[in-house]
Amino acid sequence: MWKEKIRGYALVEYRRLLLMRAAIVFFVLCAAFLLIRFYTVGLARQGEAAPISYERHARPDNLPLRVMKNAVLQWMKRNSEMPEEILSLIYDEASGNPNSDLLLAICKVESNFNPNIKSDREALGLMGIRPAVWLSELRDRKIVQSRRDLYLIRTNLASGAYVLQKYLMRRGKLADALNDYVGGDPDYVKRVVQALGEIYEARMLYVGSHSATIAEADKGKGEVPPES
């Protein structure tokens, strides 16, 4: 009798989790669509001197910073073999950019967060910067001093942010900018947008599983759960 009840309960819970997962995926896809839409509209209203950011429409800025970091770090660890100390440095460096989630999504696609990687196209580091195309301009902008700087976390992210911003300003649409960034590959655009969705989903799932602890921490009665 109890065996049947437990089995029935397990089946109900499993179906509930599947429905919840499907709802989250649907919400993330809708959010990604709205992000690109908001970004495209917002771009037309901004001057060229200001850095473009569309993430303000989706990033849960009301959450404690450590909560957002923990959630994204868990996602980074699932997508990289790099040690947590390196991933934490990458996150901290990217977080200073208004499009930090986009930078991290590109890092995932380009390098799986490996700062020392070199692709078949001679693209270097986290964000896959091609020295043959960009090194001279990056030197002129004093972002890097030499090719070796593209293997450093800070200078590679700064270089990638510069290149991406240039394409965003030139093209006006996120998909077109990403397509130019990689040199023409529609599949690349899909992979980056998917990585963005994974970041947003990671935050939502993390907050859902730690909601009580986060609420207590927000009231000053507890601590935000550490990375695991």
Q: Band of the pLDDT at 185, cuts 50, 70, 90?
A: confident
Q: How far apart are CA 108 and CA 121, in angstroms?
A: 17
Average pLDDT over residues 98-114: 95
Give the pLDDT confidence score for residue 66 in this predicted structure. 74
Distance, CA of 102 to CA of 30 (rounded, Å) = 17
Work out the pLDDT band at 163, boundaries 50, 70, 90. very high
Cα–Cα distance, 161 to 133 (Å, whole number): 15
The pLDDT value recorded for residue 211 is: 62
* Region 2-218: CATH code: 1.10.530
Query: What local confidence, expressed as pLDDT, does residue 81 receive?
Result: 95
Q: Over 80: is that where the pLDDT of 55 sits?
A: no
- Most confident of the following: 17-21, 33-37, 59-63, 134-138: 134-138
Who contacts 135 (Cβ-Cβ below 8 Å, separation ≥6)?
Answer: 144, 147, 150
- The reported pLDDT for the residue numbered 16 is 57
Long-range contacts for 208-215 (Cβ within 8 Å, ≥24 apart)? 210/67, 214/63, 214/64, 214/67
Mean pLDDT, to the nearest integer, of 184-212? 84
Residue 32 scores a pLDDT above 90 = no
Q: Report whether pLDDT(91) > 90.
A: yes
pLDDT of residue 41: 44
Q: Is the pLDDT of residue 85 over 90?
A: yes
Write down the pTM of the prediction.
Answer: 0.71
CA angle 15, 21, 26 (to 5 degrees): 125
Domain ranges of the chain: 2-218
Q: Which two tokens stand for residue 186?
A: 């529609």
Spatial neighbors of 41 by CB under 8 A, at least 6 apart, are: none
Q: Are 105 and 192 in contact (CB under 8 A)?
A: yes
Local confidence band at 27 (pLDDT 50, 70, 90 cut-offs)? low
Quick one: DSSP state of residue 56?
A: G
pLDDT at 43: 43
pLDDT category at 68 given cuts 50, 70, 90 is confident
**Out of 61-70, 166-175, 213-222, least confident range:** 213-222
Of 56, 50, 199, 182, give the one whose Cα is nearest residue 129: 182
